[in-house]
């Protein structure tokens, strides 16, 4: 998992409203959606909410689906990443 995906997963667990394609810089990526795809491929359930801008355009805002099982999976991924990063130092 790359640093961007890690930051997005942490933000999802914190129920952040900032996980959108418009905020890629905050997560060190130009493609938030690619990180979301990776998380979904790893069985993390994420809801995409459509948000309409004042200029009548749309963008996606991502939210973690709040189930005990889904939260546990997300935390397990974070812990495995932490274990990997400690093992490589």
Separation between Cα atoms, residue 19 and residue 43, nearest integer Å: 18
pTM (two decimals): 0.85
Residue where the block lists tokens 């932490």: 82
For 49-63, the pLDDT digits (tens) are: 998 889 988 888 999
CATH number at residue 66: 1.10.10.10
SS3 62: strand
pLDDT at position 62 is 97
pLDDT exceeds cutoff 80 at 43? yes
**CB 12, CB 62: distance < 8 Å:** yes
pLDDT at position 87 is 63
Residue where the block lists tokens 């997300």: 74
Q: Which domain holds residue 9?
A: 3-87
For 5-41, the pLDDT digits (tens) are: 999 999 999 999 999 988 999 999 989 999 999 999 9
pLDDT exceeds cutoff 60 at 88? no
- Give the chain's domain count: 1
């Amino acid at each position: 998992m790359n640093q961007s995906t890690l930051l997005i997963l942490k933000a999802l667990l914190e129920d952040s409203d900032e996980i959108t394609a418009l905020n890629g810089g905050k997560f060190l990526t130009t493609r938030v959606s690619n990180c979301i795809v990776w998380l979904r491929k790893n069985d993390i359930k994420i809801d995409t909410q459509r948000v309409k801008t004042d200029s009548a355009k749309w963008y996606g805002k991502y939210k973690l689906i709040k189930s005990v099982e889904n939260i546990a999976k997300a935390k397990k991924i974070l812990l495995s990443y932490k274990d990997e990063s400690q093992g490589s130092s």
